[in-house]
Structure 1
Amino acid sequence: MKQMKQLIDRIISRVNVNLNEFEFDTEGFVKNAIDYEKLLKFYAFYGITSHHPIYFHFKNSNVAGSYFLGKCYVGRSAIYKSDVRGDELKRKGDNIRCAKDIPLVEDEMITIRDSLLYKTLVHSNSHNLESPEQFGIHNTISAHYVNIHGTTLEGCFLGPFATVDLMNLHSCIVGEFAYVQAGELFHRKIDPGTVWVRSQNFEFKYKFRNDILDNFVGVNSSSQPRGIIYDFVKEREHDYEKLFDVMNLEPIKAPDSSAVNRYALVQGKINIGENVLVAQRAFLDNAVMGDGSNAQENTYIIHSNLSKNCITAHGGKIIYSDIGRETFVGFNSFLNGKPDARIKIGEGCIVMPHTIIDSDAPIKIPDEHLIWGFIGSGEDIKNHTIALDDLAEVRDTLRIGKMVFTGKGSVFIDAFRRRINQILLTNGALFHEGEDRGHAQDDQNISFNIIQPYRTGEHNGLYPSIRIKP
């Protein structure tokens, strides 16, 4: 275990050097999060299919309980109970659009070096035009239930339940439950509970009130997460244990065009439609998944109904809710309905990432609305929603409550709808008569393989150096 502890100390030192200007020390988080015995307890596993280029290389690392798909390199890193999904990596010959199309000369690879990813999701592909063949995460520590989505990171710390989306960050701190999609950031500190989307044509910004944020996602004196959302996830962790006790389980009944991952938890009365994707570590309990809908990694669909072509992005939680067709529920959103106070969201709505709806009275939001922030009662709806038609008319600045939008509303809506359509296409929701295959079809026949660390000796806690090729 000595070498394992040296590895963790090395990672802390590397990250702290990058964050020195903030006088930020990551040691408190790491030392209180890491249980070295657990790094021995869990096997790691990887999936292979005929649809994904295969290359896995693990070196001088621990990857306990983590899942890998696609081309990945992990060196001098610790990755604990994380999902590293390379099924959307760019391929050799793909064109990168900039001033002029540039074809890739090799397949893109996820490269993780000198980093600690703790219960973190890594997905999509790099949006760094300077290194299009490498989705890089270097000298970075991420806390519980972070989403790293198409984002290159160098020398960063990401707090619990943070999301970094389609961008590049260098020597940055992203606070707990913050969502940021803002191009390239250097030496920035993003406050906890900030939701920030920025492009050339628009900017959306919202920040949760401190008392509300602390109630749902806070950090205790040991630098560990606490709050309603963390408790919700923690209480259900034990339900996953049976999935990892054996390699082969009876498949979940689903149409031939749909896929329910072997490592998804499905219980209660379930109705799964055509072209549905249920990803690993998704949690379904008494749920209806309409045709073309999806439950992505770390999502929870409980006593809820999703209509056709609904998207539940990574970490989204939908409880006692009814979601209209073609509605997008963003990263880490928490729609916490109750048995006698259901949440009803209309068709064609966009629920912004990191939205919280938690009310003891029923909540109903009409079709074609943008939804954000915190809704704790019916009165909060007017300050946290807007009809998409009204937003499309905005040309300058719009302020509603604590939300500020600047730029062209129509461009914002068009950009979101294009992304939603791309997600549906990529996930296989539009599959028909053999055309437009996606994850729901390609993931049906994944083969899973396990690897384990040394349990004794000099390398106790580390995994052997392994290179897996076609």
Structure 2
Amino acid sequence: MRDITSLLHRITQRISINLREQHFDIHPYVERTIPLSQMIKFYAFYGITPHHPLNFHFSHSSLAGSYFLGKCSVDHSILYKSDIRGDELKHKGDIFPFENASITVHEDEAIDVRDSFLIKTLVHNFSHDPESLENFFIHDTLAMHYANIHGSPTEGCFMEPFSTVDLTTQHDCVIGRFSYIQVGEMSHLKIPAGTIWIRKPGAFNFLYRFPQHILDRYILYDPISGPPRGIFMDFLEARKADFKRVFDVMHIDPSIKIPAGASLDRYAVVKPKVQIGENVLVAQRSYLENCWMGKGANAQENCYIINSRLEGYDVTAHGAKLIHSMLDRNVFVGFNSFIRGQMDHPVRIGKGCIVMPHTIIDTPAGITIPDDHLVWGIIESEADLPHHSMAIEQFSRISEGLMVRDMMFEGDGAAFVHAFRHRIEHILEANGAYFDGIHNQGHAQKNRFIAFNTIQPYPDGDRMGMYPTIDIRP
């Protein structure tokens, strides 16, 4: 394992240099939580469809579990059970709107990972950085368990478990566990754990921070004590065996009927009593059990939908979990949210609600959120609703600012709501929710007949855990 150890040392050294201004020591995180011995146990795989021409290159890399669509170039990079999903990369000639400008894309956008260690991390979407429209890079970033990088690029950064950077360019930053950041561009910042920060300069600024004692129950991460732990990890570990079977077996026939326009990913777990409707997208590593997915709904990567019903056109963003939950139509549940009721007392979320990213609704008594409400933070009972939710119409009337307990908002509430509504509509369109049999194809239709190819690492010797050099350029 000499080569893989040397590669990890190189990555660690570079990230440490990048984070020197933050006085952040990355070595304990690497030494105590990265299972190098696991590397030889997994294969890498990449997907092929007619809609994503392959231009694939990687060399001297350890790649466990990653799938790539579209153009990709990976060098000297370890990807451990991560998903690099490049099915929204821009094409030559596309027009990218930015502020008052319309920028022409000069060449097809390509993924460029290089020296990173991504542990069970999802990387998806396309570059939203106007300075690097053609390069969806990650570089030296180390992202830990179940982090999301949505709308790369990043650089020499460190992301703790269950953190998300969304449509954000970050330079040499540290993102604390279960933090969600969507701020455009940030540099040399250290974001505390449990921070929810959404900003559009000149328009709005939303800031919420989870109380530390509550956050520690759900996800606690101290590298001295070993891997991440808490309610989130217990929940995932209890279902780990189901994913092992999916990845151990090369060919699995769908266990449920796949209706017109819908797609069920080969690497999703489907337990008994699951029904999916037309134009439903069930993505990689999602988990369905005893649930109803209405027309146009989706379960994105790392989503868990258990004992729940989604009426239709509902968005369950990357990493969100729904347990004993009933969603009316057009409900958005954001990244890594955790929504849990009980069998006799489910969580009911009304039509048109926006559950913001990294929201926790966890109540033994059940709860009902009325139609068209914005929800954030932690909700454990009905008494929490006035401090962690608001009618969208009321929020839209905010003209300057508002403070509600631990939430602070500045700017234009209508602009904030409009941005979310626009984003949700784009997600539904991109996922193919409105496909009519001919027009409006999206991911659900384009990925319906995806083919996966696997690659095995060297089984022993100095290169054990590394992969053969591969260069595929059709």
| TM-score normalised to structure 1 length | 0.98
Provide Cα deviations, 1:332-366, integer angstroms capped at 9, x if missing partner: 00001111221000000000000001111111000
Question: Mapping of 1:209-228 within 5 angstroms?
Answer: 209-220=211-222, 221-222=224-225, 224-228=227-231
The equivalent residue for 2:167 is: 166
Partner deviation per Cα, 1:138-172 (whole Å, 9 max, x = no partner): 11100000000002111100000000000100010
Aligned residue identity for 1:213 = L
Distance in 2 separating the partners of 1:206 and 1:464? 46
Quote the residue 2:140 is aligned against.
139
TM-score using structure 2 length:
0.97
2:232 corresponds to: 229
1:211-262 CA distance string (max 9 Å, x none): 0000101113335311101211122111111111222111242102100001
The unaligned stretches of length 5 or more in structure 2 are none
Percentage identity across paired residues of the two chains: 51
Q: Is contact 2:22-2:189 (8 Å) kept? A: no
CA distance in 2, matches of 1:173, 1:41: 30
Aligned twin of 2:106: 105
What is the aligned partner in structure 1 of residue 75 from structure 2?
75
Aligned AA (1:62): S
CA distance in 1, matches of 2:375, 2:60: 45
Which residue is equivalent to 2:362? 358
The answer (yes or no) to whether the contact 1:85–1:123 under 8 Å persists in 2 is yes
- CA deviations on 1:254-311 (whole Å, 9 max, x unpaired) are 1021000011000110111111000010000001000000000000000000111000
Alignment match of 1:469 (pick from 462, 468, 473):
473
State the AA in 1 paired with 2:249.
V
Q: AA paired with 1:133?
A: E
- CA deviation after TM superposition for structure 1 residue 74, in Å: 1.4
Return structure 1 stretches of 4+ with deviation > 6 angstroms: none
- TM-fit CA distance, 1:54: 1.1
User: Do residues 183 (structure 1) and 187 (structure 2) align?
Assistant: no
Does residue 1:248 correspond to 2:266, yes or no?
no
Instruction: Name which of 414, 436, 440 aligns with 2:440.
Output: 436
**Letter of the structure 1 residue corresponding to residue 292 of structure 2:** V
Partner Cα distance (2:240, 2:68) in 1: 20
**1:415 and 2:419 matched:** yes
Q: 1:28, 1:222 within 8 Å by CA — same for their partners in 2?
A: no
Q: Are 1:28 and 1:223, in contact at CA under 8 Å, matched by a contact in 2?
A: no
CA–CA separation in structure 1 for the residues paired with 2:426 and 2:3: 44
Deviates more, 1:362-371 or 1:99-108: 99-108
Matches within 5 A, 1:34-49: 34-49=34-49
In 2, Cα distance between the equivalents of 1:179 and 1:101? Answer: 28
Q: Corresponding residue for 1:31? A: 31
Does residue 205 (structure 1) correspond to residue 195 (structure 2)? The answer is: no
**Aligned-partner residue type, residue 440 of structure 2:** D
Gaps of 5+ in 1: none
**Aligned partners of 1:62 and 1:79 also within 8 Å:** yes
Q: CA deviation at 1:183?
A: 1.0
Q: Which whole-Å CA distance do the structure 1 matches of 2:121 and 2:415 have between them? A: 31
* Number of the residue aligned with 2:352: 348
Q: Distance in 2 between matches of 1:78 and 1:51?
A: 27
Shift of 1:102: 2.8
- Bigger drift between 321-330 and 104-113 goes to 104-113
Deviates further, 215-224 or 357-366: 215-224
Do the aligned residues in 2 keep the contact of 1:265 with 1:281 (CA within 8 Å)? yes
- For 2:377, the equivalent position in structure 1 comes to 373
Write the distance in 2 (CA, Å) between the matches of 1:45 and 1:376. 40
Which stretch of the first structure deviates more once superposed, 90-99 or 45-54? 90-99
Q: What is the rounded CA distance, in whole Å, between the counterparts of 1:81 and 1:238 in structure 2? A: 15
Counting only pairs closer than 5 Å after superposition, residues 314-333 of structure 1 correspond to structure 2 as: 314-333=318-337
Output the CA distance in 1 between the equivalents of 2:176 and 2:462: 37
